[in-house]
A and B are shown apart, each in its own frame.
Chain A
Amino acid sequence: MPSVLILYLVAALGVEPAKVDFSQDIQPIFKKHCFACHCETSSKNGLRLDLKTHALAGGESGKVIIPGNANASILFRNIAALPNARAMPPKGVRLSSKEIELIKTWINQGAKWPDDGSEKSNPLAWWSLQPLTQHPAPLANSSWINNPIDSFILAKLQQKQLAPSPLASKQTLIRRLYFNILGLPPKPQDVDAFLNDTRSNAYELLVDRLLASPNYGERWARHWLDAVHFGETHGYDKDKLRLNAWPYRDYVIRSLNSDKPYGRFVAEQIAGDILYPGNPEAIQALGFIASGPWDFIGHAEVPESKIDGRVARHLDRDDMISNTSNTFLSLTVQCAQCHNHKFDPITQADYYSMQAVFSALDRADKPYHADPLIAEQFVKLQSQINATEKQIQTLEANLPGKKELAELDAQIKKLQQPAQGKNPAFGYHSAISNNQSVNKWVGVELKDAANIDKIVLHACHDEFNNIGAGFGFPVRYKVEISDDSSFKNAVILNLSDADKDQVNPGLTPVVIPAGNKKARYIRLVATKLAPRQNDYILAVAEIEVLDAKGKNLALNCLVSSLDSTEAPIRWAKNNLTDGIWFEPLGPSAKQILELQEKRKSLYATLVPESERQKLSRLQSQLAEFNKQLSSQPKPQMVYAGTVHSGAGAFTGTGANNGKPRAVHILQRGNIEKPLDPVSPGAISSLLHSPSRFTFNENEPEGSRRVALANWITHHDNPLVWRSIVNRVWRWHFGKGIVDTPNDFGKMGKLPSHPELLDWLAADFRDNGQSIKRLHHLILTSATYMQSSAIDPNMDIKDSDNIYYWRMNRKKLEAEAIRDSVLKVSGKLDSSMYGPSFQDFIIEKPEHSPHYQYHLHNPDDPKTFRRAVYRFLVRSQQQPFMTTLDCADPSLLVDKRNETLSALQALALLNNGFMLVQAKAFAQRIEKEFPKPDQVEQAFYLALGRKPTPIELTNLHAFVSKVSLADLARVLFNLNEFSFID
């Protein structure tokens, strides 16, 4: 007790209190009272008091410790249970007054929290956050060493008392290289040529030849597409197709084949449109931002004004930044959505700052020009238009009489707005027909028979297939009225027009006089349906049946029809008589004309001649630019991250000039609990460059992405370079130096060879960031060229081959198996690029498309292209490829699962694709080789080597009993077909 008294006294006297020591005085208090709820295992309200960075960063409601100001620190206010504070701890023993005073003093003295050097107290000391240091390769005197990679590997092997395996045979090496670089098997001629090539650099020449092949980009693009979860449907419910996603895939193939420097490759995918204007590849690259799944319903049917709509958009940005940080930085920033990252120094504020970078964007088709010259012209015209518009604006802003003119303009503009927006109740919609000349009808039954003056038909308005006004209105039709429901004695009202094609009325009502005839049943019979996409329909918004007084007798009357697509709210039979249709322009054109005339005369009197001339010159210039622009070829589309201008619930930020949505830190990730707004930024524990980006308010959204791209590709950012060299290494060896390529944080694995990783990263960064150069270095290393045979003596010490005492035998991926089967059967269509092939039939595209793989004909040569060109559906993945462990396009796949199962055996044995190709392979053998050679040559084609005598004997015995197609099927199913030594 005395000591407490003394403390109080000292404080009261204004004398500096004794220095409080964190480890001695404060840490034990935290441990005793706070850790139960605020540590690694439980971090209530996102607050942890066991780690310095976390504690100082605070919790969900912000900082809790303000160094130097205890009274402003929530931590102190709470433990002291000050007014309006939340007394802490909420349950159990409260802190003693001595403990409270110690904490107060500690905070007032600056909340000094020493780093004790351990990772726990200083997460910034984590290996992956350290700057790259280029350790020199260890000096080792060994003839085994081909290049510095081997020096690092050998040093470690020796340290672990391991030794490298012998050089693999040339036979093995050529097959290994072909699959590794191209994903395809070598032809027997290629094998022969290589085996007979006695030049000392034959291997290196082969490496270079293969790296120069366009097939290289196809193989390696697939690796990249795994990482960025590229898919071509949205996923979720109503899994619609993205028919313009493929340009991004082509972009990746082209970038790899042209060996684009990695920094540029990264930057283009985040901000290519701004960094490299006019370059089509830089637009296609933005497909990266949109590559992942997208909640169609959550965007297209739920607006941002609803909670569910905001949740969908929040999750959408979450996907964008997860993709960005996992792919380029190997950090799992997504773990900081609800609280500061539990293991890595990533704060919740970092997470939302990254969201703010992308907050103007949505996923949508973005136009671009593939021809760079046209693209350049396009950009030039666009900027001329912008400049001229700006000049006009400036000029107009300073005109005398601008106020009066502006008032008139506003009036005119208001009158030009449609009177009524789009009511969701569109109308009646028939079932879809494949045949335009099928008759379809829809009719109204009045409550009683009545005298009818006229019938008015209102067409629908639906943006589907860009049809808009007049959607579904029949090309040829009859309007019939009748006394009886069977229409036996029907009168056709539009007799003279009934057998002629009619001009689509758009939104103009179609009036059909009825001559005051009496009837109870009215129906519209379409004899030639309206075209929709590749099919035909009948749709009508409203049928009005008017009596002589103009009263609509049909309102809310019973509707019947041959068939109907009932999709309320929009489409329903009852919508035909609901009194709702899409209204065209409301006010009379006359009124607008009058106002325009008034404006003209006002303009002439108020604005001096010189100004008028200037303005009219600018306006004719603008018209000329616009004319030129519209005469340019139509742009192509890529599904990309872009500022979207849409209708309905999915409006995007386009209407707001692409102004980014405000992003707040969300308490526990809850959209209904926004805390402080954040500025765009990145991860604050990386110190190479400021992690919060500052802009003036009017800066376009693209500046945010440029800032992030620059931050990521910064020379001194250690993660980006380590990340890519580790990925490339893993794709070659089947195992990474860090074997969690998407996570270099504490939940990831540690590097097996940290010095080698840094050496490779720095060497890569400083030598043109050339991925092909990196390939060459790895592929020509003695490490890579080792045999994959397992030496039991080494296996005992390092069964997982962590230290690379041998090469890893690799199981081929789904794509490599499929491509090889096609190559070997002789059916591979090697054409590159363009829209993806679809190996499914789509049913019910109008609602949730059903992707029916089993209805597709496996004999269809359109599907004989390489698997990288396969159309990737999210909700229903291709069963054959999925069984063979292809990547799931909804997941960020840094390494694929590798499994073996009975279902895989069944797929390779029995799938239609495999059987079609077995037959094709048999035909090829039959055609190309004389009978005695067929077995041997088939084997050589499939496996890249000739069979041994015992294999040959067995195969001959087999073939004598079965067909060549059976032989082909067996060869495709051999272990050796799927595994590469």
Chain B
Amino acid sequence: MLWQSGGGLGGIALSSLLDNNLAANSLINSSTGGLAGLPHHPPKAKRVVQLFMAGAASHIDLFDYKPELIKRHGQNSDFGEKVEAFQNGLGPWLKPIWDFKPYGKSGKMLSDTVSPLGAVVDDITFVHNVVGKTGIHSQSTYLQATGFQNPGFPGMGCWVSYGLGSLNQNLPTFVVLPDHRGFASNGPKNWDSAFLPSQHQGTMLKPGAPNPIEDLFPAPQGNFISPSSEAASFDILGKLNQLHLNLRQGDGRLDARIRSYELAARMQLAAPDAMDISKEPKHILSLYGLDHGKQSFDKEINAIEEIDYFSRKCLVARRLLERGVRFVQIWSGCDNGFPRRNWDSHEDVERDHGPLAMGMARGSAALILDLKQRGLLDDTIILWTTEFGRMPSSQGGKGRDHNPYCFTNWMCGGGIKGGVSYGPSDEFGFKPLDRKNPTQVYDIHATILHLLGIDHTKLSVRNNGIDRRLTDVHGHLIDDIIA
């Protein structure tokens, strides 16, 4: 059962009246605020969680086992072709930093540093032949987040919100939980609505902050506001706006704006509750690794701290999904500063990837188990992604350079097969084994939209002369991974 507060369907239909891009209200599904006529076909999934590892996570150290690298460790690398490295990444072959072991019925080999995912590996499909377009973080992050390399395009969550609308009446449709240490490349542009109406942009949530949603409550300068003056203000706003509206019949925007204030009031109640994990029972906190009892953490990057950060977000995500948030995006890793707190391990894979991966694996495994035990995994897709992979060769030391030629995504739930490894990479994890048929981000996006009941070729918006889609002019369903 999904949890919802009262308020009537009036709140939901808000966007239907407000969108100057849609010529007529009839184009809108009045109960969700999404497009009329969607879904295009019966969906298998209703919700999505996107886990984004900023900085480029190393597929070969986490999910894509390459014994050949162990064999050739330390030998001069030879790619059999001219390779342009982003930095100086063509040093000797570097074996996986951690040991790999088989897990689950599928016997999938996973690195020790993501071992918690072993418990759910039979629910997951790994796609090992994803290819990017450049080795530049910014463009590649845009590509994975929005389907385009340059700024100015809506994030995947925006498209889903625009097409399918909301499942709830008092929370945003698309919620983003950024790494609390800072934004990844491109910052909030990764979840910007661009040319879609602004209510479809990702709403940033900062659990624990005084204003977990921007301006949810009065800023400190509003010290003149008391609970009673707040209530009186809402009351008179409604009255005067109604008088104004009475003389201006026929303009739906005026009515919609009145209702937007009602929705705001409801959100003030619903959002803090959705983020309050203090009432979660012990066994759930322990499932997520949040029972460590620590109040502060070491200065150096460490696994317990990373588990705490990532798991908290995963647990909040579960609570949001239960309350009808349709799309949750969780980020691990901030921008390139020092000390390094992202996956861009040019210097030392072990140092950064170790704690980050353990945090990610613990949190995401818990989320999968938790959704499963609540029956929500069946119609919730989890997508794990990053902007590109890392090279099988070292940079002379303990780090790896960018590898946009091949990396791994994984997905589970919501109509995705379990225990599958799809699209192998070559023996080094340098490029896809079948170079002619790699997986592109368009294919991942097309498949997810398909599971949500959307034909990716039909969800388009005309902007400056082009009918824009999440998948540009590309995208093929990956039939082999759909259950």
Interface residues of A (CB under 8 A from B): 235-239, 293, 295, 297-298, 302, 306-308, 311-312, 315, 326, 332, 334-335, 343-344, 565-569, 740, 742-743, 745, 747-748, 789-790, 792, 795, 800, 809, 811, 844, 847-848, 850, 858-859, 874-877, 879-880, 882-883, 885, 888, 890-892, 894, 897-907, 909-912, 915-916, 918-919, 922, 948, 950-951, 954-955, 958, 961-963, 965-966, 969-970, 973-976, 978-979, 981
Q: Would A901 and B260 be within 8 Å (CB), given that A876-B188, A909-B218 are in contact?
A: yes
B232 at the interface (CB under 8 A from A): yes
Flag if A966 contacts B232 (CB, 8 Å): yes
| B243 CB contact (under 8 Å) in A326, A569, A950 | A950
Q: Would A297 and B138 be within 8 Å (CB), given that A879-B214, A961-B228 are in contact?
A: yes
B189 at the interface (CB under 8 A from A): yes
CA distance A235 to B139 in the complex (A): 11
Q: Would A876 and B224 be within 8 Å (CB), given that A236-B138, A906-B213 are in contact?
A: no
- CB of B302 to closest CB in A, whole Å: 18
- A892 — which chain B residues lie within 8 A by C-beta? 464
CA distance A44 to B277 in the complex (A): 54
B245 at the interface (CB under 8 A from A): yes
Q: Which residue of A lies closest to B404 (CB)?
A: A308
| B136 CB contact (under 8 Å) in A302, A880, A975 | A302
Q: Would A974 and B237 be within 8 Å (CB), given that A295-B138, A902-B263 are in contact?
A: yes
CA distance A965 to B17 in the complex (A): 32
- CB of A629 to closest CB in B, whole Å: 40
**A847-B338, A899-B19 known, 17 other contacts, Cβ within 8 Å:** A238-B336, A891-B194, A897-B20, A897-B195, A900-B260, A902-B261, A903-B198, A905-B264, A909-B215, A910-B217, A910-B218, A910-B222, A955-B240, A958-B236, A966-B225, A975-B254, A976-B244
Q: Would A795 and B263 be within 8 Å (CB), given that A911-B215, A974-B244, A976-B244 are in contact?
A: no
- The 7 A-B pairs with the shortest beta carbon distances in the complex, nearest first, are A237-B138, A332-B465, A790-B250, A912-B219, A902-B263, A890-B151, A875-B187
- B266 — which chain A residues lie within 8 A by C-beta? 902
Flag if B186 contacts A955 (CB, 8 Å): no
Q: Would A874 and B151 be within 8 Å (CB), given that A900-B18, A970-B237 are in contact?
A: yes
Flag if A903 contacts B194 (CB, 8 Å): no
Flag if A907 contacts B215 (CB, 8 Å): yes
Q: Would A742 and B188 be within 8 Å (CB), given that A901-B260, A910-B216, A916-B221 are in contact?
A: no
Q: Would A297 and B136 be within 8 Å (CB), given that A565-B338, A910-B219 are in contact?
A: yes
- CB of B224 to closest CB in A, whole Å: 4
Flag if B23 contacts A800 (CB, 8 Å): yes
| B232 CB contact (under 8 Å) in A742, A859, A951, A962 | A962
CA distance A859 to B251 in the complex (A): 36
Interface residues of B (CB under 8 A from A): 14-15, 17-21, 23, 84, 86-88, 134-139, 141, 149-152, 172, 182-183, 185-189, 192-199, 201, 203, 211, 213-222, 224-226, 228-229, 232-233, 236-237, 239-241, 243-245, 248-251, 253-254, 256-258, 260-261, 263-264, 266-268, 335-340, 346-347, 462, 464-467
Flag if B347 contacts A566 (CB, 8 Å): yes
Flag if A883 contacts B214 (CB, 8 Å): yes
Flag if B87 contacts A569 (CB, 8 Å): yes
| B250 CB contact (under 8 Å) in A335, A795, A874, A973 | A795
CA distance A370 to B248 in the complex (A): 50
Flag if A874 contacts B464 (CB, 8 Å): no
CA distance A920 to B252 in the complex (A): 33
CA distance A948 to B465 in the complex (A): 47
Flag if B151 contacts A568 (CB, 8 Å): no
**Residue of B20, B136, B251 with most chain A CB atoms under a 10 A cut-off:** B136
CA distance A53 to B217 in the complex (A): 60
- CB of A278 to closest CB in B, whole Å: 36
Flag if B198 contacts A885 (CB, 8 Å): yes
Flag if B335 contacts A847 (CB, 8 Å): yes
- CB of B9 to closest CB in A, whole Å: 15
CA distance A140 to B218 in the complex (A): 57
Q: Would A903 and B219 be within 8 Å (CB), given that A236-B186, A874-B151 are in contact?
A: no
- B467 — which chain A residues lie within 8 A by C-beta? 747
Flag if B240 contacts A954 (CB, 8 Å): yes
CA distance A566 to B351 in the complex (A): 14
Flag if A951 contacts B240 (CB, 8 Å): yes
Q: Which residue of A lies closest to B206 (CB)?
A: A854
CA distance A804 to B464 in the complex (A): 24
Flag if A789 contacts B248 (CB, 8 Å): yes
Flag if B243 contacts A906 (CB, 8 Å): no
**Residue of A743, A809, A905, A979 with most chain B CB atoms under a 10 A cut-off:** A905
Q: Would A882 and B198 be within 8 Å (CB), given that A970-B237, A975-B257 are in contact?
A: yes
Flag if A295 contacts B139 (CB, 8 Å): yes
- CB of B338 to closest CB in A, whole Å: 5
- CB of A743 to closest CB in B, whole Å: 4
- CB of A962 to closest CB in B, whole Å: 4
- CB of A846 to closest CB in B, whole Å: 8
Q: Would A979 and B336 be within 8 Å (CB), given that A343-B465, A568-B346, A904-B260 are in contact?
A: no
Q: Would A790 and B249 be within 8 Å (CB), given that A295-B136, A748-B465 are in contact?
A: yes
- CB of A243 to closest CB in B, whole Å: 20
Flag if A850 contacts B267 (CB, 8 Å): no
CA distance A948 to B246 in the complex (A): 13
- A975 — which chain B residues lie within 8 A by C-beta? 241, 244-245, 254, 257-258
CA distance A307 to B139 in the complex (A): 14
Flag if B264 contacts A909 (CB, 8 Å): yes
- A904 — which chain B residues lie within 8 A by C-beta? 260
- A981 — which chain B residues lie within 8 A by C-beta? 248
Flag if A911 contacts B189 (CB, 8 Å): no
CA distance A197 to B237 in the complex (A): 34
**Residue of A848, A918, A950, A965 with most chain B CB atoms under a 10 A cut-off:** A848
- A912 — which chain B residues lie within 8 A by C-beta? 219-221
- Between A and B, 15 residue pairs with Cβ closer than 8 Å are A236-B185, A293-B150, A312-B136, A344-B465, A743-B464, A747-B466, A811-B253, A847-B338, A876-B187, A899-B197, A904-B260, A918-B224, A962-B226, A966-B224, A975-B241
- B185 — which chain A residues lie within 8 A by C-beta? 236-237, 848
Q: Would A900 and B256 be within 8 Å (CB), given that A880-B215, A910-B222, A954-B239 are in contact?
A: yes
- A850 — which chain B residues lie within 8 A by C-beta? 182-183, 335
Q: Would A906 and B224 be within 8 Å (CB), given that A293-B151, A326-B464, A911-B219 are in contact?
A: no
- CB of A825 to closest CB in B, whole Å: 13
CA distance A695 to B482 in the complex (A): 59
- A740 — which chain B residues lie within 8 A by C-beta? 464-465
**Residue of A295, A335, A565, A792 with most chain B CB atoms under a 10 A cut-off:** A295
- CB of A240 to closest CB in B, whole Å: 12
